[in-house]
Structure 1
């Protein structure tokens, strides 16, 4: 059992180390590129900056996750903070990606009105601000969900103490499913519109398609895992940590974290095509 435990955590630590390295380089390069080459800010830059902040905060605090994989952090309120920081940044990324999808759709579907609207920057700032405020309120309201008493290890919950159904419902429905519907609708419509306009825009529609697929692949598993782990509660005397549901949750968390490696590059390329 100890051998399996060590092998499992080494793989987890190595996996997050790769995400940290690639995510750090990708976000740093994207920030440098889109900030350095623009003389005036637009609503696009505000959304991109918010996305970069969300992804960068996730990347910056990944060393705690890596350290815990190799040496085990003690169960303290720091763990609670790190867990909520990790997921707040993930949902900030989901929310910002959704806002960018809507913005792109409006720019393609109503190009003249989109160019003439003078409050785009203010609207983008308000959307980003409201997103962070909502996430902060949720973290405060549901703070006890991930207190040390409910944790088996710093980043692992006790198997007999699932997240409350109300919290899971908010995360799955409003944190993922609704944004997923918006992203799929907007991306699908953009692809159809661009393909009708001509061959020159097919490469752009390809980037939109790739972004939509990455969104689905990165964030679907973890929300399925939330539901599975909530409804498959193990007995209190269950000692084995590596039940299938738990392994699926841990792996899906890693998959979700990899999104920070793709966001900045893909959206920088896409926005460059749309707005250059």
Structure 2
């Protein structure tokens, strides 16, 4: 038996995810269209970006189930476990890919000659494959955490059952803190190198655009993924310590929605990057 939230929460949840689905689908289709304009000119960077687009698109394509659940309510079955796992596999594949792009960009700018052998299409394909294997393995190992018996609705866990400590630690450390530290380090170091370089006037705009992209990517990552990982921790503490002073369900739903909007912001960022690359012979790292 499915337990519905309040009518207002259902409407807001359904409407917010429907907007992400519609806008995200259009933006990602536009981004993919630009991607395949000149496949012959792809570099290893394009492989990483395509992997990111694939993760975002896969997440978006499963959002209609979430919208339907908000308005009509899906039955609590193993299909719900599959939907939750798929959502987080794609989200963490996106996080790991953004991290890989940051590392790749840092190596290309800081050590352009020493790391040339590491920056190839084959290496990029291997890294992307490892990203998907890691994300699927994590969700597979801890799939029991979202067993139907532990769910209140198709997308919500029961309020009296916290996440396993091991799963929480993996999500917080491997899924967020480590990628965040890597991205912050690589992004700041890359920007510092670019600012120190003495460049000709015609390349100044190009460097400025790259710095803008790096800064925007870092801000998007922090804004989108900090709330949900803070939410993991606070929800765990609320359940284990019986906190009842806040509406944790509403707080958690907002955190999840913010994280989902990352698929929109990624597509916008890389759409304009690819458009500039193909129209102005812009150098991708």
Say yes or no: TM over 0.5. Answer: yes
What RMSD over aligned residues (CA atoms) do the two structures have, in Å?
Answer: 2.4
Q: Distance in 2 between matches of 1:223 and 1:3?
A: 25
Q: Distance in 2 between matches of 1:233 and 1:175?
A: 22
Partner in structure 2 of residue 248 of structure 1: 251
1:204 positional shift: 2.2
Q: After the TM superposition, which of the residue ranges 256-265 and 188-197 deviates more from structure 2?
A: 188-197
Match of 1:202 among 179, 204, 208: 208
Aligned length: 271
Match of 1:264 among 254, 267, 273: 267
Partner in structure 1 of residue 56 of structure 2: 55
Question: Are the aligned partners of 1:176 and 1:223 in contact in 2 as well (CA < 8 Å)?
Answer: yes
Question: Are the aligned partners of 1:47 and 1:96 in contact in 2 as well (CA < 8 Å)?
Answer: yes
Aligned to 2:93, what secondary structure does the other structure show?
helix
CA distance 1:268–1:245, change in 2 (3 Å):
same
1:40 positional shift: 3.9
1:206 positional shift: 1.5
CA distance 1:270–1:189, change in 2 (3 Å):
farther
1:43 positional shift: 1.2
Tell me, which stretches of 5 or more residues in structure 2 are unaligned? none
Question: Are the aligned partners of 1:160 and 1:235 in contact in 2 as well (CA < 8 Å)?
Answer: no
Partner in structure 2 of residue 14 of structure 1: 15
Q: Distance in 1 between matches of 2:20 and 2:47?
A: 25
CA distance 1:228–1:64, change in 2 (3 Å):
same
Tell me, which stretches of 5 or more residues in structure 1 are unaligned? none
Partner in structure 1 of residue 82 of structure 2: 81
1:112 positional shift: 3.1
Partner in structure 2 of residue 189 of structure 1: 189
Q: Distance in 2 between matches of 1:23 and 1:89?
A: 14
1:202 positional shift: 2.0
CA distance 1:118–1:94, change in 2 (3 Å):
closer
Partner deviation per Cα, 1:104-159 (whole Å, 9 max, x = no partner): 11111122344x42761111111111111122222221111101100000001000
Aligned to 1:111, what secondary structure does the other structure show?
coil
Partner in structure 1 of residue 283 of structure 2: 274
CA distance 1:274–1:252, change in 2 (3 Å):
farther
Q: After the TM superposition, which of the residue ranges 90-99 and 134-143 deviates more from structure 2?
A: 134-143
